[in-house]
């Protein structure tokens, strides 16, 4: 498992009975987590001193309950700054487990010895975009939500990357890639974090089980001949590491060679010393550089 264990401003303190207790900077949040199927004693005092608690509804969705939590606050990862705010369906605007991938591809960008053009698809609030830009890449950031792109721009400015070579696009990711194919544009690296289900700006429907592999084949057509890396993340139960590996081998390795690794990603839990699984990632790396 790849573990995001380089955080100072974030930690999972404890997990029990379908929920996790997290520290986001100075604030404690309790949020549901479907992986937490164990029921252990809640001895950490943070459970009773929480600043926010997301209660899931038996009818689907849920709502936040707040206890002295600001509308927005910041946390830091190395040289990056992220604005956080609790919003719909338990999210805060950041997936801390992805830091293990940020560290991986940042090292590849820095060691490339040349300019690296990165395409970040389904780019959300820009964690991967900021990490790539900080490492020296030129980044194209694409997300279907105007609000998420605006949030990502604010994170970039807070991280000292307001003038970095980042192209911000509100667009349907599939249609954008199709246009890039027609234009003959290529990228040295592609990152994607596709949702299980989503809609584009004009109502385009995305279902990951049906769309992910054809989309990966499309993106392979805009990888440059000397591409550096390719990363796909999944929070969908059926897309396990072996499935991600198989798809990358089929869509990427047959065209470019290189090496594939895939694994679960996770976060260390302070009280138990164990690791909470948080999805899976598949990585491709050009081994000829």
Domain assignments of the chain as residue spans, ordered by start: 2-71, 96-285
The pLDDT of residue 238 is above 80: no
Average pLDDT value for residue range 142-171: 97
Confidence at 68, pLDDT banded by 50, 70, 90 = very high
pTM of the complete model: 0.95
Whether domain 2-71 has CATH 2.60.40.1180: the reply is yes
The CATH fold of domain 96-285:
Rossmann fold (3.40.50)
**Beta strand extents in the chain (DSSP E only):** 2-3, 10-16, 19-24, 27-32, 52-56, 62-66, 73-77, 80-84, 117-121, 138-143, 166-170, 189-192, 197-199, 205-207, 229-234, 259-268, 275-285
CA angle 154, 157, 159 (to 5 degrees): 110
CA angle 46, 88, 41 (to 5 degrees): 25
Average pLDDT value for residue range 122-144: 97
Same fold, 2-71 and 96-285: no
The pLDDT of residue 201 is above 70: no
Average pLDDT value for residue range 50-76: 93
């Amino acid at each position: 498992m790849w573990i995001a264990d380089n955080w100072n401003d974030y930690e999972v303190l404890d997990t029990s009975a379908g929920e996790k207790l997290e520290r986001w900077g100075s604030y404690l949040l309790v949020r549901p987590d479907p992986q937490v199927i164990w029921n252990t004693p809640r001895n950490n005092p943070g459970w009773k001193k929480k600043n926010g608690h997301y209660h899931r509804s038996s009818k689907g969705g849920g709502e936040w309950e707040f206890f002295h939590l600001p509308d927005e606050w910041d946390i830091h990862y190395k040289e990056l700054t992220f604005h956080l705010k609790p919003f719909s369906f338990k999210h805060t605007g950041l997936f801390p487990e992805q830091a293990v991938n940020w560290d991986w591809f940042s090292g590849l960008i820095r060691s490339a010895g040349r300019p690296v053009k990165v395409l970040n698809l389904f780019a959300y609030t820009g964690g991967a975009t900021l990490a790539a830009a900080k490492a020296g890449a030129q980044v194209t950031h694409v997300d279907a939500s105007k609000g998420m792109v605006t949030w990502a721009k604010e994170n970039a400015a807070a991280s000292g990357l307001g003038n970095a070579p980042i192209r911000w696009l509100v667009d349907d990711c599939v249609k954008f890639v199709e246009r890039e194919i027609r234009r003959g544009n290529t990228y040295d690296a592609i990152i994607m974090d596709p949702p299980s289900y989503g809609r584009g700006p004009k109502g385009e429907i995305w279902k990951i089980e049906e769309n992910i592999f054809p989309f990966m084949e499309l993106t392979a057509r805009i990888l440059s001949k000397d591409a550096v890396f390719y990363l796909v993340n999944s929070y969908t139960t059926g897309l396990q590491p072996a499935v991600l590996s198989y798809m990358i081998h089929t869509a990427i390795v047959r065209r470019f060679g290189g090496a594939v690794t895939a694994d679960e990603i996770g976060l260390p839990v302070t009280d138990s010393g164990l690791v909470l699984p948080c999805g899976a990632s598949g990585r491709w790396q050009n081994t000829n550089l």
